[in-house]
Amino acid sequence: MRLRSQTSVMALVLASFVAGTAASAADLSIVSGAVGRDIDELRKHLDMFEAETGISVDIVTMPASTTDQFGQYRLWLSAENPDIDVYRVDVIWAPQLSAHFVDLSEHAADVVDDHFPAIIQSQTVDGRLVALPMFTDAPALYYRSDLLEKHGFEPPATWVELTETAKAIQDAERAEGHDRIWGFVWQGAAYEGLTVNALEWVASNGGGQIVEPDGEISINNENAAEIIDLAATWPGNISPPGVLGYREEEARGVWQVGDAVFMRNWPYAYALSQSDDSAVQDLFDITPLPTGPSGDQNAAGLGGWNLAVSEYSPNKEAAIELVKYLASYEIQKDRAIETTRLPTLPALYEDEDVLAAQPVIGEWLPIFQEAVPRPSAPTKANYNQVSQEFWTAVHATLSGNGDAATNLTQLERNLMRIRRAGW
Ligand code: GLC
């Protein structure tokens, strides 16, 4: 079953790749994964770019999972594929893919200082700026304000409170006939998204960041084990058993039809949840993710997407122009207003049009500013392996295969083996 669906995903990827290159004579091609309306929004901006510059651009679409995208990007880049000019890349992949991307420092010298310095720094590897920011990302806790009010609850401050509130409202709603409702939906599939969810639990409980900025492997500790064991009580209790296969869009699907009290998700889900065809339109709000019972940090995992120009592009000059266009103030402004994607330009958080159309963007600024990065900088070329070991250990615990203390001890050994002499 699993094998078959993976094969068909790859067949689709291949088909869209072939269609994207052979069937048209566009000047450039950009490869991008997507959730929600990402591709429609990108298409709109590419058409605007073409109208302004005469440069046409095809989109090569990817599966939604960043893990699947990374695998494909790595293959194409090591094969020096000349058919893709621009890659939409996750904030975490810069250190691993940097050798294949053009240094944008000089080309973007006139605009880099307009972006948040930390984001530019995250895309700078050995002094080379390998991608320009498109939007940043930090999740929040979405909650059904109508249901919390109806049942007399405040938004939860801790994960323990969330567990209790979710259960109480779920039970009360089911007793009234809302059979399909669940307390909490999130991303529990074995992929990069689970790494971010679990890092948030651990950091919020004073359990560190898996690997610390100085390279120390810190994950095998009591605070981390305590909160992962708490999360292991959720599937089948306050979360659907299927949550262990959920990524962003599966969680949003349950939430947006009105079948969840709480959801952990990124800002893109906000505009969609507010759309006219959403069952939860005007019935929800957001708040920072809870803190752990033994911690005091509202820890949102830092995400975000950036645009890199391939070293193997035969059309680098036009590709650089495109990247600058998609990262520009006007385009980021439209993206924020239409899709609640968080801008990477501080000035847009004071733009009156943005704040009038999407006041939530202002609320999201402190969440983003305090977000916790994944250890992709300290673990360098090993990040994907480190993350995979982490999500595997967490997924096992959530599935009832061993408790967190046992699985984190084994994880620590595996990470030490990966690190050997140094990251
Ligand atoms: C979001 C984030 C990205 C993260 C991914 C995990 O797309 O922006 O950084 O890796 O979710 O699923």
| pLDDT tens string 359-410 | 999 999 999 999 999 999 999 999 999 999 999 999 999 999 999 999 999 9
* In a shared domain, residues 214 and 322: no
pLDDT score of 294: 97
pLDDT score of 374: 98
Q: 183 CB less than 6 Å from ligand 1?
A: no
Q: To test ligand 1's pocket by mutation, which of 38, 90, 388, 394 has the most ligand atoms within 8 angstroms of CB?
A: 90
CA of 174 to the centre of ligand 1 (A): 32
* In a shared domain, residues 344 and 221: no
**DSSP annotation of 59:** E
Q: Which residues, given as ranges, of the chain have pLDDT below 70?
A: 1-24
Instruction: Decide: residue 237, CB within 10 A, 0-12 exposed, 13-18 middle, 19+ buried.
Output: middle
* In a shared domain, residues 211 and 105: no
Q: 36 CB less than 6 Å from ligand 1?
A: no
CA of 196 to the centre of ligand 1 (A): 8
Between CA 355 and CA 343 the distance in angstroms is 12
Q: Which domain holds residue 330?
A: 6-138+303-369
Q: What percent of the chain has pLDDT over 90?
A: 94
pLDDT score of 341: 98
Please report whether residue 192 resides in a domain: yes
Q: 137 CB less than 6 Å from ligand 1?
A: yes
Give the domain CATH number at 38. Answer: 3.40.190.10
pLDDT score of 16: 47
Q: 173 CB less than 6 Å from ligand 1?
A: no
Q: Choose one of 351, 369, 387: the last residue of a domain.
A: 369
pLDDT score of 421: 82
**pTM score, two decimals?**
0.94
- Number of structural domains (the chain) is 2
Q: To test ligand 1's pocket by mutation, which of 38, 66, 264, 383 has the most ligand atoms within 8 angstroms of CB?
A: 66
Provide Rg for the chain, Cα atoms. Answer: 21
Residues near 292 by beta carbon (within 8 Å), at least 6 away in sequence:
158, 159, 201, 204, 205, 206, 207, 223, 226, 227
CA of 85 to the centre of ligand 1 (A): 22
Q: 266 CB less than 6 Å from ligand 1?
A: yes
Tokens 């009591």 sit on residue: 222
pLDDT score of 149: 98
pLDDT score of 25: 78
Q: 41 CB less than 6 Å from ligand 1?
A: no
* In a shared domain, residues 336 and 199: no
